[in-house]
Structure formats: structure tokens, C-alpha cells
């Protein structure tokens, strides 16, 4: 979907216009349009095809033309011109999360800071203190924001990379003589972000495959065109590498290019100890001429590579040298959870708060997904911006759910809420209200900047509430927007275990929270994990796959995950007595 890209450009246009003191109405129009486009459930390209762009509230002739221009050319000329007229430093500053156009202007015009490096050095040295219009807190945010930008620069979110690679792979699958093809690298390991996309294929005719690869519609630029290795750049500057090998080496090439590098290094050490050599063509006995075909003992598929080293097959998501090599040697690898183990979605919003689907629609889609039960978890009253439900609305929804359940077969809707954890750890509904619900999710959506001990205590207090079943997105990070807030994860995990409160893996692609590392730590601490999609639209139900990827990277098995239980066991397990 191009929606996000276009929304971001509109926000940037508004920022630049604001810096230029342009007409406030015009600025507001761009911001509003960005909001509208971001919350659309349908792809803008689909709306364009149906000639319905102007039906989007806030999108008139001018903006709809700009959207069309972007769909056609992946550029908006007006924006390109604006960027050219704006100093580079200013453009960098507005990219920093938490830095608005006003601050960017102060930094550039009043303080004459010209780029990010400069800004970082001067902020760290305490040289931008006591400046009118710049609060102490803003300076801290700037420094954190720069760190965040530097870390994430050049990496793209997994779901976007999957979209690009699937399109290219499905094109190449149709080429004659292609035998096997799949994505490798960090994408196959399901890392939450990837730097570039690595694809591996096998064929008798690599030349033909390469010729087709550099011609795929996604290729905006050909970086290298070789006989067995080529690279292209797609829109958004994403590099895609393709490696083609003979089919007998496919497993070896796939394993090598899947990595991680740290995992590969460990495999090589084991090979050396056994008098073997491992590379992207196979595993060989070292004595005699290495790589002579007679000496090869494995290479066609990954399983035989691991077996030749006396290891169990390691699923790609675990290949990070986080203990999997030892476990594979002892044959004690966990049997990782699969998406088919999931019996319910624990986190979903209806039109009653900020979702767009009715309860009936949600139930219908969930049935198609094969779920046995689901929990409706609309926002609570304080979260006005997201249409939080008053107590009265919540009780009305409970009645509605009873009525639907009475008529419906094959799926049970459970009553829930995503209740706000208020600034001091109290909850947004009273215990008497929460008691009436089947499954209560509690979440922080405000006060992210509280000190670590305050935030930790605040969440612990919520976890200890007898009515709270699960904490949603426990660290609050939003990729590309803000980092996790400061909490003491060790304390949170211990408290979650003792209070029998589940922690969520939120499957929303920008959240993936808990992340892989925290998930593994949670499992080791004896904490139960629940996986929710936080769906607001029909398409978002599919995000469950991303939550499963995180779970697998965190070594979770079916038994570690709450919503693999059938309804009866689930209801028994969430009782906190
Ligand atoms: P990325 O692209 O930064 O998200 O992460 P990867 O893991 O996809 O890394 P990439 O694209 O640089 O390389 C793909 C795989 O190739 C990597 O996972 C392991 C393998 N590889 C790359 N460089 C080396 C190396 O120096 N030694 C070994 N043993 N393997 C390497
Ligand atoms: Ca890569």
C-alpha cells in the first residue's frame, strides 16, 4: 500500500510550509489529508482505479491530483520543488521523531545549526540550553530522536520487504528453467527490519534468470548484472540481491545466505573441528581437493547440511547464535509455534472505538480465519482521541455481544476492553466494571516520558489488578516514531509471572511489542504470552503472521502461548485466584 508513503509526504509538505510561514489553512489541509489517508483501510491505488479519491474526506481536486501523480511516478513534483528550496539541515531536523517544524526553525535560523552531527554535538555539550522556544525536555527528546534515526536509517520494516520480495519471486517463478527460489537473509529469519533483500534460486540456466531479474518491473536501477549474482534497486532505494546456483548446491547457498553471519561462523567452526569445509556450494571433506564434486557430502537441501554437522535442523528464525547451535547439538531445540496453532485473536477494535468494522463483521472474518473465540477490546473512556467507550457504551456492547453469541455458531465472542493505565497506575474503569468482562487488556497510551521507576511501578500496579488479564504492547515502541519507553523489564517479567498476567506480542507491524529478545526473556522467566493483532480493519487480521514470527524468534512453543488454548482451557487459565 502506498497510503503510508503518501501520508508521510503530505506531513512533510505541511512541515515545510509551516517553516516558510505559508497559509495556515493550506498547512492544516495537508495535515488533515495525511490523517485521512493513513486511516484508510483501502489502498489509494484501488481508490484511484475506482475514481474515488475525491470521496476521501479532505481530499479535493488538487490533492487527489497529487496522489495520482505519486501513484504514477512515485514522486510529487511540488514536494520535490519544496525540498530543493529548503536547507538540507532543516529537512534533516524534521525527520527527527518529536521535532516539529517550529523547533527545526529555531535550530536552523536562530541557532544556525546546519546538520544532524552538529546538532548532536552541541546538544550533548549542553550548548543549546536556555534558548527561548526550546525546553530542556525537547533537547533530551532531540538527542534520543537522533540516536533512533541513526539506528533505523537504511533499514526497512519486514512487512514492506516481504511485499517487495514476494512480487519479484512470483515473477521469476514463471521463468523457464527455474527450479527452486526463495528469500534468504534477515527477511527469511523474520527480523523486524531488513537492510537488503537476498534471494536464492537454482537453475541450469542462470544467465536467463539474471536477464529476467534485472528487468522486473520493480527494478528502478541495476546495480550489478553478473552471471550468478546480480543486484537491483527498487523504489525507495531497497537493494535486492539474487544469487543463482546449481540445484545440488541450493541448500548450501540458502543456508549460507540466510545467515545470520554469527550463526554461519559457528557452523564453520563445527565443520572445521570435524575436518569438513562448508561454503555456499556445500559441505566437503577437506582431505584431497576441496570442492571437487566427489568430496561433497551435503548441499542439496538445508536439512542435510545440518545433519552432516551432527546438528538438528535449525528453523531460520532461530539462527542468531543465541543458544540454538548448542541446543541443535544436544537435540533439544524447541518445537516452535506455528500460525495454525492459534485459536483466537485477543486484541481487536470495533467501530465502537477507533476500528471500522461492526461486531458482526469482525465475527465473520474471525470465523473464516478458523478461530474458536475472539476478544473485543475497544478503548476505554479516557482515550477520547480513539473513541474510548463510556461505561454506559461498554455495557451496551456487552449486551450486544450476548445477543450475537446467542445466534451465532462456531465462534464465541468474549467481552473485553483495552483499558487505559492512568498516570498513577489506576485503571480507567472501576473494578466493578472490569469484573463484568471476560478478558481485560491494560495498556499505556500516555506519559511515555515518566522516569523508569514510575513507569515500571505503574504497569506493575495494573498487572497486579485481579481483573487484568494481559498487558498490551508492554514497551510502547512505535517503529519509526518512538523507541520503547523506559521500563525495568526484569521487574515487569517477575511481576507478570507472580501476578499471572499475560504479556502481549502485539502483531501490528510498527509495534511488534514485545520484541524477539523480550519474548525469549519472558519465556525464560515463566511468563505466559498472548498474541493479538490489534486489528482496526479487515486487512489487519492477517498481521497475526508477524506476531508469530516474533514468537518464533523468541523460541516460543505452542504451550507458551495463551491463545493456542481451546476456549475452555483458556477461560480456566486466565482466572487469577
Ligand atoms: P541485513 O541485510 O543487514 O538485514 O541482514 P542479513 O543477515 O540479511 O545480512 P546480509 O544481507 O549482509 O548477508 C546475508 C547473509 O549472508 C548473512 O545473513 C550471512 C551471509 N554473510 C554475509 N557476510 C558474511 C560473512 O562475512 N561471513 C559469513 N559466514 N556469512 C556472511
Ligand atoms: Ca540482507
* Grid cell digits, residue 89: 539541515
3-state secondary structure of 225: strand
109 within 8 A of 38, measured Cβ to Cβ: no
Ligand 1 site residues (CB inside 6 A) read: 185-186, 191, 194-196, 198, 256-257, 259-261, 264-265
Task: Ligand 1 pocket test: pick from 158, 262, 264 the residue with the most ligand atoms within 8 Å of its Cβ.
Answer: 264
Cα separation, 281 vs 278, whole angstroms? 8
DSSP state of 331: T
Number of C-beta neighbours around residue 91 at 10 A:
17
How much distance in Å is there from the Cα of 206 to the middle of ligand 2?
Answer: 21
What are the residue ranges in the chain where pLDDT is below 50?
none
Q: How far is the CA of 313 from the centre of ligand 1 (A)?
A: 19
CA of 196 to the centre of ligand 2 (A): 4
Phi, psi dihedral angles at 44 (to 5 degrees): -60, -35
Q: Are 98 and 72 in contact (CB under 8 A)?
A: no
Q: Which of 189, 190, 261, 320 to mutate to test the pocket of ligand 1 (most atoms within 8 A of CB)?
A: 261
Q: Which ligand 1 atom minimizes the distance to the CA of 193?
A: 4
Q: For helices 136-152 and 116-124, give the axis angle rounded to 10 degrees.
A: 130
**Closest by CA position to 110, among listed 124, 89, 126:** 89
* Contact between 305 and 296 (Cβ < 8 Å): no
Judged by its nearest atom, the ligand closest to the C-alpha of residue 255 is 1
Place of cell 471500522: 356
List CB-based neighbours of ion ligand 2 within 5 Å: 185-186, 196, 198
C-alpha to C-alpha distance for 339 and 319, rounded to whole angstroms: 19
> Closest ligand 1 atom to the C-alpha of 259?
18
Q: What is the rounded distance in angstroms from the CA atom of residue 49 to the CA atom of residue 44?
A: 9
Tell me what pLDDT residue 73 has.
86
Nearest CA owner, ligand 1 atom 30: 261
Distance CA 507, CA 488 (A): 22
CB 486 within 8 A of CB 517: no
Report the 10 Å Cβ neighbour count for 468: 23
Q: How far apart are the CA of 543 and the centre of ligand 2, in A? A: 22
Which residue's CA is the closest to the ligand 1 atom numbered 8?
185
- Residue 407 contacts by C-beta under 8 Å, 6 or more apart in sequence? none
Query: From the CA of 374, how far away is ligand 1's center (Å)?
Result: 40
Domains along the chain with CATH numbers: 2-152 (1.10.150.110), 156-245 (3.30.460.10), 251-330 (3.30.210.10), 339-573 (3.20.20.140)
Residue 285 burial (CB < 10 Å; 0-12/13-18/19+)?
A: middle
Whole-angstrom CA distances from 196 to 62, 157, 185, 264, 552 are 36, 11, 8, 18, 22
| Tens-place pLDDT, residues 423-472 | 999 999 999 999 999 999 999 999 988 999 999 999 999 999 999 999 99
Whose CA is closest to atom 21 on ligand 1?
261
Q: What is the DSSP string of 346-401?
A: --B--TTTT--S-HHHHHHHHHHTT-SEEEE--BBTT-GGGTPBPHHHHHHHHHHH
Query: DSSP of 482-522, one letter per residue?
Result: BPPP---HHHHHHHHHHHT-EEEEE--TTT-BS-HHHHHHH
> Cell numbers of 390, please?
463510556
445 Cβ neighbours under 8 A, 6+ residues apart: 383, 386, 420
Q: How far is the CA of 510 from the centre of ligand 2 (A)?
A: 20
Sign, Cα dihedral of 491, 446, 137, 119: positive
* Residue 441 C-beta-side C-alpha neighbours within 13 Å: 32
Rounded distance between C-alpha atoms, residue 456 and residue 432, angstroms: 25
CA-nearest residue for atom 23, ligand 1, is 261
**pLDDT number for residue 292:** 53
Amino acid at each position: 500500500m502506498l497510503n503510508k508513503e503518501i501520508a508521510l509526504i503530505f506531513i512533510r509538505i505541511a512541515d515545510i510550509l509551516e517553516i516558510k510561514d505559508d497559509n495556515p489553512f493550506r498547512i492544516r489541509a495537508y495535515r488533515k489529508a495525511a490523517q485521512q489517508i493513513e486511516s484508510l483501510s483501502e489502498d489509494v491505488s484501488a481508490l484511484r482505479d475506482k475514481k474515488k479519491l475525491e470521496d476521501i474526506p479532505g481530499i479535493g481536486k488538487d490533492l487527489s491530483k497529487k496522489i495520482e501523480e505519486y501513484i504514477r511516478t512515485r514522486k510529487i513534483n511540488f514536494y520535490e520543488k519544496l525540498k530543493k528550496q529548503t536547507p538540507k539541515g532543516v529537512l534533516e531536523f524534521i525527520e527527527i521523531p518529536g521535532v516539529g517544524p517550529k523547533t527545526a526553525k529555531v535550530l536552523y535560523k536562530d541557532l544556525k545549526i546546519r546538520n544532524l552531527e552538529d546538532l548532536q554535538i552541541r546538544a550533548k555539550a549542553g550548548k543549546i540550553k536556555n534558548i527561548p522556544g526550546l525546553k530542556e525536555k525537547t533537547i533530551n527528546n532531540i538527542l534520543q530522536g537522533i540516536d533512533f534515526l541513526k539506528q533505523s536509517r537504511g533499514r526497512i520494516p519486514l512487512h514492506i520487504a516481504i511485499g517487495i520480495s514476494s512480487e519479484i519471486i512470483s515473477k521469476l517463478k514463471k521463468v523457464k528453467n527455474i527450479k527452486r527460489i526463495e528469500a534468504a537473509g534477515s527477511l527469511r529469519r523474520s527480523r523486524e527490519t531488513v537492510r537488503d533483500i537476498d534471494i536464492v534460486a537454482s537453475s541450469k540456466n542462470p544467465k536467463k534468470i539474471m536477464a529476467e531479474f534485472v528487468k522486473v518491473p520493480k527494478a528502478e536501477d541495476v546495480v550489478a548484472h553478473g552471471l550468478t549474482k546480480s543486484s537491483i534497486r527498487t523504489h525507495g532505494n531497497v537493494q535486492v540481491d539474487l544469487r543463482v546456483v546449481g540445484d545440488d548446491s541450493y541448500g548450501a547457498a540458502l543456508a549460507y545466505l540466510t545467515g545470520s553471519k554469527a550463526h554461519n561462523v559457528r557452523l564453520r567452526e563445527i565443520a572445521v573441528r570435524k575436518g569438513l569445509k562448508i561454503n555456499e556450494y556445500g559441505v566437503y571433506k577437506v582431505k584431497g581437493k576441496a570442492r571437487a564434486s566427489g568430496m561433497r557430502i551435503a548441499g542439496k537441501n538445508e536439512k542435510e547440511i545440518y545433519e552432516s554437522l551432527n546438528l538438528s535442523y535449525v528453523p531460520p528464525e532461530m539462527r542468531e547464535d543465541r543458544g540454538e547451535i548448542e541446543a541443535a547439538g544436544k537435540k533439544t531445540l524447541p518445537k516452535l509455534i506455528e500460525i495454525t496453532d492459534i485459536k483466537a485473536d485477543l486484541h481487536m477494535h470495533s467501530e465502537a472505538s477507533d476500528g471500522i468494522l461492526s461486531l458482526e463483521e469482525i465475527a465473520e472474518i474471525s470465523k473464516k480465519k478458523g478461530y474458536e473465540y475472539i476478544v473485543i477490546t475497544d478503548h476505554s473512556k479516557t482515550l477520547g482521541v480513539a473513541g474510548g467507550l463510556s461505561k454506559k457504551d461498554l455495557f451496551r456492547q456487552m449486551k450486544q455481544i450476548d445477543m450475537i453469541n446467542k445466534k451465532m455458531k462456531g465462534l464465541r465472542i468474549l467481552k473485553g476492553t483495552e483499558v487505559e493505565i492512568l498516570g498513577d497506575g489506576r485503571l480507567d474503569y472501576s473494578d466493578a466494571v472490569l469484573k463484568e468482562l471476560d478478558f481485560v487488556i491494560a495498556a499505556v497510551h500516555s506519559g511515555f516520558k515518566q522516569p523508569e521507576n514510575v513507569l515500571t511501578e505503574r504497569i506493575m500496579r495494573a498487572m497486579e489488578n485481579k481483573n487484568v488479564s494481559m498487558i498490551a504492547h508492554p514497551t510502547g515502541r512505535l517503529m519509526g516514531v518512538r523507541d520503547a519507553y523506559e521500563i525495568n523489564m526484569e521487574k515487569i517479567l517477575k511481576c507478570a509471572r507472580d501476578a499471572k498476567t499475560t504479556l502481549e506480542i502485539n502483531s501490528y507491524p510498527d509495534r511488534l511489542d514485545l520484541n524477539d529478545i523480550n519474548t525469549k526473556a519472558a519465556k525464560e522467566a515463566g511468563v505466559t504470552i498472548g498474541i493479538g493483532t490489534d486489528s482496526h480493519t479487515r486487512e489487519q487480521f492477517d498481521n497475526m503472521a508477524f506476531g508469530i514470527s516474533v514468537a518464533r524468534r523468541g523460541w516460543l512453543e505452542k504451550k507458551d502461548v495463551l491463545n493456542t488454548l481451546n476456549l475452555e482451557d483458556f477461560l480456566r487459565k486466565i482466572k487469577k485466584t
